[in-house]
């Protein structure tokens, strides 16, 4: 009897595991999975995107969202096009080019990007060693400079600034490193400077500014904006990086910014987009706890971008809130 009892227990456990496995497999099959394209871990997109993934997974039934590390804003749109991600952060200038299939999207063709919300602004940073002798973009000639990772929005900013200063790619010793890689290379004195554009404060800059023995400065680049706007349109706005944003930053920096938009494509289910938009605002405090750039999310600024259409699911929410007048 004792042997039979043990056999029964083992049999019961095995059968239980079998049916539990079937249950969880069925539950998993019923769950909708969403991938959110962000960027390098050293910027705002990845942290912010992780927050959005968390509230989607928590508050939208049978939906699991994941923030994915990607090269950044340009590749995010291309990944939306090939359906390897479902949602993404990008910049309004990049989305406008994608919509028309021009510039870097000339070969890949038009992408039916649709805005869910404008979230914050990406602010251009041009960081150089304090002892490099670089006071303006023109002084980068002959220097080793990272223009950021291929496929990133950072690289777009870098190329437009270099072009506005009449500095060609062959005039610099170019590196194409991600933001985190650029910071590490800068610490090791392997590069003289690097470009990026992200929200404030940038995690990588906080890391850099707290590193002993590192002397850096952020260049004023607002003077190049007129020439950039003449060529690419009025997609950028004048802003300042306030002194004290990073330790060792002892004066305001005159620079420019571009709106960041959280996007999908035209074929995403309007009801799902409505739910995502709704929880982004209703659970905004949870996003703020993850990254303070989320404090800038508001109904007025969320619908402020022109030149790229909004998704019908998002429009439905904004109409309910009485802010959609377009």
> What burial class does residue 100 get, using C-beta atoms within 10 Å of its C-beta: 0-12 exposed, 13-18 middle, 19+ buried?
middle
User: Distance between CA atoms of 239 and 252, rounded to whole angstroms?
Assistant: 10
Q: What is the pLDDT of residue 324?
A: 96
- The pLDDT profile of the chain, 326 residues, written as one tens digit per residue, is 454 554 545 444 444 445 555 444 544 446 899 999 999 887 789 999 999 999 999 999 999 999 999 999 999 999 999 999 999 999 998 999 999 999 889 999 999 999 999 999 999 999 999 999 999 999 999 999 999 999 888 999 999 999 999 999 999 999 999 999 999 999 999 999 999 998 888 888 999 999 999 999 999 999 999 999 898 888 888 999 999 999 989 999 999 999 999 999 999 999 999 999 999 999 999 999 999 899 999 999 999 998 899 999 999 999 999 999 87
CA 287 to chain centre: 15
Q: Angle, to 10 degrees, between the axis of helix 92-100 and the axis of helix 153-164?
A: 90
User: Distance between CA atoms of 86 and 81, rounded to whole angstroms?
Assistant: 9
| Nearest alpha-carbon partner for 146 in 274, 14, 42 | 42
- In degrees and rounded to multiples of 5, residue 9 shows phi and psi of -60, -45
Q: What is the pLDDT of residue 276?
A: 98
Q: How would you classify the pairing of strands 32-37 and 216-218?
A: unpaired
Domains and CATH numbers, the chain: 34-120+259-320 (3.40.190.10), 122-258 (3.40.190.10)
Q: What is the pLDDT of residue 14?
A: 47
Q: The whole model's pTM is what?
A: 0.76
- In order of 121, 185, 280, 286, the CA distances from 55 in angstroms are 22, 35, 8, 8
């Amino acid at each position: 009897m004792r042997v039979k009892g043990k056999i029964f227990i083992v049999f019961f456990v095995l059968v239980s595991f079998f049916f539990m496995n079937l249950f969880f497999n069925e539950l998993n099959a019923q769950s909708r999975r969403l991938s959110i394209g962000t960027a390098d871990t050293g910027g705002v997109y990845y942290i912010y995107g992780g927050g959005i993934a968390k509230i989607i997974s928590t508050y939208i039934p049978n939906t699991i969202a994941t923030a994915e590390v990607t090269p950044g804003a340009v590749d995010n749109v291309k990944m939306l096009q090939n359906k390897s991600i479902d949602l993404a952060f990008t910049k309004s200038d990049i989305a406008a080019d994608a919509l028309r299939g021009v510039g870097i999207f000339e070969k890949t063709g038009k992408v039916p990007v649709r805005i869910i919300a404008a979230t914050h602004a990406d602010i251009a940073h041009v960081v150089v060693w304090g002892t490099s002798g670089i006071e303006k973009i023109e002084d980068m000639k002959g220097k080793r400079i990272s223009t950021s990772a291929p496929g990133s929005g950072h690289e777009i900013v870098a190329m437009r600034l270099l072009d506005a200063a009449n500095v060609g790619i062959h005039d610099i010793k170019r590196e194409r490193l991600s933001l985190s890689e650029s910071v590490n290379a800068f610490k090791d004195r392997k590069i003289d400077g690097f470009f990026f554009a992200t929200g404030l404060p940038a995690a990588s800059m906080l890391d850099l500014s707290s590193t002993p023995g590192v002397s850096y400065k952020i260049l004023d680049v607002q003077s190049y904006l007129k020439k950039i706007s003449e060529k690419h349109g009025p997609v950028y706005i004048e802003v300042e990086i306030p002194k004290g944003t990073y330790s060792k930053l002892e004066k305001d920096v005159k620079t420019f910014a571009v709106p960041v938009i959280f996007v999908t494509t035209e074929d995403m289910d309007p009801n799902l987009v409505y739910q995502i938009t709704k929880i982004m605002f209703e659970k905004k405090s949870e996003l703020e706890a993850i990254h303070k750039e989320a404090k800038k999310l508001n109904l007025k600024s969320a619908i402020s971008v022109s030149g790229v259409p909004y998704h019908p699911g998002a429009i439905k929410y904004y109409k309910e809130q009485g802010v959609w007048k377009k």
